[in-house]
A and B are shown apart, each in its own frame.
Chain A
Amino acid sequence: MKGTITSLPPTAGFGLRHPHVLDVISRPPAIDWVEVHTENYMVPGGPRLRQLDAIRERFDLSFHGVGLSLGSVDEPDREHLTRIRDLVCRYRPAALSDHIAWVRAPAQVGGASLNDLLPLPCTEEAVDTLARNIRIFQDATGCQVMVENPSMYAAFAGAELDHADFVSETVRRAGCGLLLDVNNIHVSAHNLGFDARDYLARMPFDAVGEIHLAGHAERADAGGTLLIDDHGSRVRDSVWTLYDQALAATGAVPTLVEWDTEIPELEVLLAEVRTAQSRLDALRPGARTAS
């Protein structure tokens, strides 16, 4: 099944952000693929698109969306889907994804964008809503897409499923792939008080088409620390440990390092990519232990 979710090579790449674009075009690093935020390229013309043309000539692309609001009570915006489809036609990405999250307020109360990946209650209604919207996303693009497990700071009352079941049921009912964000598991487990290793062990590994790694920040919180998923530092040791646990279950999977705030020199980011690649290289070819 893995081959149908993504045609990305099972190697390590990184999230390409604006400060590094010209560097990467003029001196392409020795990696196979990069990921970009789909919404950053929803413009009629100009340098962004020209630069992505140049990137595409050298690298495979993963299109990672942050704006479809798959967890909204409303169906995905048709114009937004059309823009995604147009970009897919132009750039032929090897993977297409968005998040288990909502971004826009309900149309009934104005439909304002909150420009943030917001949490969902672990209810049957939310799973069914996600599954409906993900199927619309897949139908509109003609691709099997991946959705990313969330990072959360607060949980809702009245949960009908636990956090791991919520993600795996969403993937199962939608018939989509899972973009397994290991940092998000660590952050959410700490903030909401569940066991990260147990959550990870219950992910649908056959559906995993890509893994995300990133850094997070610690902030003082009432009675402890709150972990903030800010993608603003190196990947923490605790997250590398979870990554090893994930790889033992999935085998070699395309792995991405994200760095979105306090963006460092490209070389710092590439060092993180090499660390991920060395862990992928250490796997015996084809090794995949039972989960």
Chain B
Amino acid sequence: MSTLLEIQSRFAAGVFQGSDGILSDLADDGRQAARFEVYRNNTHASILEVLADAFPTVQTLLGESLFTRLVTAFIRHAPSRANHLLDYGAELPDFIALSEPLADRPWLVDAARLDWARNAAYGAAEAAPMGADALQGLTAEALLALRPALVPSATLLNSDWPIHTIWMNADALAESGVAPRAEAVLTARPAMQVETILLHPAERALLQTLQDGGTLGEAAVAAQQTDPAFDLMTAFAGHLSAGIFTHRKNEEPKEN
């Protein structure tokens, strides 16, 4: 008589490694191998569905059959250790980066990072957005010393590949491949919708500096160094009204 520990260990090995030690634990009715196969298939199908939902761009770029092979290898390499799979897939971009068969499509790594950023943004923590009123009445000096944070759902992604174009046109690019051209995107869920927008290089420098904890003055310098002609105030005001910024902890506006 096997213990529960033995049965569950052999069952999991049967699902993930394809070993058949579990079959001797099942009632011998001549169908046990076929019946165990149902569990193996259901398990793989359910995890595949989770990752297909989280990585739609990668799935489109690879096609269903190659994506399924990728997921099968990933499950074996890095199975979920949590009781639910809402957070499962965070390691898939790095796994793709190390995948030899996918090395001829290096843009897939950033496509996976963008998919993951969008997936994470949907359920990310909420934060009160910084409104335009936070800037009213500030002296120029005080304005430049301000250190707005990005909302918790925000992710900046700098890519050597045209990542925004890839995300928008994954269907077409699945066939043609992608030529290298740098693009940066911001993904965030300022309200109820997850949004991904293409960033001007100077705008990227601005937001990156703020995300790293810099002041608005430092961010302005970084943006100007990237492109002296860049219209900093319009870009900042646009992100402010879109609700991308929030107050840094301990820097909440004081009640009067």
Identify 16 new A-B residue pairs, CB closer than 8 A, beyond the known A39-B83, A108-B5, A112-B80: A102-B8, A105-B12, A106-B9, A108-B9, A109-B9, A110-B79, A112-B16, A113-B81, A123-B1, A123-B4, A125-B4, A154-B36, A155-B26, A155-B29, A222-B31, A226-B35
Collect the chain A residues with CB atoms within 8 Å of residue B249's CB.
none
Cβ 8 A contact of A39, one of B26, B30, B84, B189: B84
For the complex, give the distance between the alpha carbons of A92 and B217 in Å.
47
Smallest CB–CB gap between A29 and chain B, Å?
23
Cβ of B12 and Cβ of A114 under 8 Å apart? Answer: yes
Residue B107 interfacial (CB < 8 Å): no
Chain A residues with Cβ below 8 Å from B42 are 116
Which residues of A from 66 to 115 have beta carbons under 8 Å from B?
Answer: 66-69, 72-73, 77, 80, 102-106, 108-115
What's the least CB distance linking B70 to chain A, in Å? 17
Tell me the residues in window 224-243 of chain A with beta carbons closer than 8 Å to chain B beta carbons. 226, 228
- Contact (Cβ within 8 A) A154 B27: yes
Q: List 28 A-B contacts (CB under 8 A).
A: A42-B84, A45-B125, A46-B122, A46-B123, A46-B192, A68-B83, A73-B4, A77-B83, A102-B8, A106-B8, A106-B9, A106-B12, A109-B9, A109-B13, A112-B12, A115-B50, A116-B42, A121-B25, A123-B1, A153-B35, A153-B39, A154-B26, A155-B27, A156-B26, A158-B1, A222-B31, A226-B35, A226-B38
* Majority SS at the chain A contact face: loop
Q: Mark B199-227, 1 if CB is under 8 A from A, else 0.
A: 00000000000000000000000000000
- B9, A69: Cβ atoms closer than 8 Å: no
- Rounded to whole angstroms, the CA-CA distance of A211 and B195 in the bound complex is 41
- For B34, the chain A residues whose CB sits under 8 A away are 221-222
- How many positions in chain A have a CB within 8 Å of any CB in the partner chain? 53
State the Cβ distance, B230 to closest chain A Cβ, in Å.
32
Contacts of B36-54 to chain A: CB distance below 8 A:
36, 38-39, 42-43, 46-47, 50
The residues in B between 1 and 37 inclusive whose CB is less than 8 angstroms from any CB of A are 1-5, 7-9, 11-13, 15-16, 24-32, 34-36
Q: Contact: A125 with B3, CB < 8 Å?
A: yes
The size of the chain B interface, using a CB distance under 8 A, is 51
Partner of A106, one of B5, B15, B126: B5
Q: Is the CB of B83 within 8 A of A113?
A: yes
Q: Are A115 and B126 in contact (CB under 8 A)?
A: no
Report whether B27 and A105 are in contact in the complex, using a CB–CB cutoff of 8 Å: no
The complex places the Cα of A205 from the Cα of B121 at a distance, in Å, of 45
Give complex CA distance A114, B76 in Å. 11
CA of A46 to CA of B84, assembled, Å? 18
The answer for the CA separation of A227 and B122 in the assembled complex, in Å, is 36
Residues of A within 8 A of B189 (CB): 46
| B142 interface contact, C-beta 8 A | no
Which residues on B sit within 8 Å (CB–CB) of A153?
A: 35, 38-39
Q: Is A157 an interface residue (CB 8 A)?
A: yes
The listed residue with most B CB atoms (<10 A of its CB), out of A50, A67, A111, A156, is A156
Q: State the CA gap A8–B152 with chains docked (Å).
A: 36
Q: How far is the CA of A73 from the CA of B83 in the complex (A)?
A: 14
Interchain CB contact under 8 A, A158 and B2: yes
Give a binary string over A56-73; 1 marks a CB under 8 Å from any B CB, 0 the rest.
Answer: 000000000011110011
Instruction: Identify the closest chain A residue to B1 (Cβ).
Output: A158
